[in-house]
Every structure is written in C-alpha cells, then in structure tokens.
Amino acid sequence: MKLRPKDLREYRIARLQSNEGLCELCSLPIEEGKAVLDHDHADGLVRGVIHRSCNSVLGKIERGRRYGKEFSPIDFALGVGLYLTKTHGNLLHPTAKVHDAS
C-alpha cells in the first residue's frame, strides 16, 4: 500500500503519538515540527518517525557506500558503539575543551 502525499502529515502525527512522542531512532522526545517520516531509499518502505537531525545522520551513514567500499550501515553503527566506549589512551587533543570534574 502506498501512502498518499495528502495523508503524510496525519500519518506522521498518528505514528508519533503511538510512540508516545519519542523518536524511533534515539528514543528522545520530538518537539513539534522536528519530526520526519523516515523511509528506506532502496525499497521506499516507511521505517518510522524520527528527529530531522537523526534522519540527517542516518542518511550520512547510509550513504557511506559512496566511498568505494562495501559498506554495511548496521556493522558501522555497531562499530560506533564499540569505538565510543573503548579506552583510547591518555593523550589529550590540542583543541579539546575538557571540563574539570573537581
């Protein structure tokens, strides 16, 4: 079934309400006017209602294929989680702005 353009707004609002006003990607609340109906560009199927900013980041991840490599967005996303939680050493970058915890 194909969603008609005139029904898009109503569907997006209903789907957002059914998800208690939370982004289906990051699970944070979505402010009025910041929600988009995301879809898979390969098959056109609706995936969910997410923040406009989450949609932008998701698009960058999915377009990673253009760098000439085989690329799995799922493997990349899993790798991001591992990368951000591992210890990288104790060398501070010269432009880092770190808040003193004391």
**Class of 5-69 in CATH:** alpha beta
* CA–CA gap between residue 102 and residue 88 (Å, rounded): 22
Return the pLDDT at 70: 74
H helices within 52-92, ranges in order? 52-62, 73-85
Q: Do residues 58 and 38 touch, judged by C-beta distance below 8 A?
A: yes
Task: Indicate whether 97 pLDDT > 90.
Answer: no
pLDDT band, very low/low/confident/very high, at 17 (cuts 50, 70, 90): very high
* Mean pLDDT across 20-28: 96
Give domain limits for the chain. 5-69
* CA–CA gap between residue 77 and residue 59 (Å, rounded): 12
Q: What tens digit of pLDDT does each residue of 29-63 get?
A: 999 889 999 999 889 999 999 999 999 999 888 88
Q: What is the mean pLDDT of the chain?
A: 88
Return the pLDDT at 21: 97
- Amino acid identity at 45: L
Task: Indicate whether 100 pLDDT > 80.
Answer: no
More confident residue, 65 or 19: 19
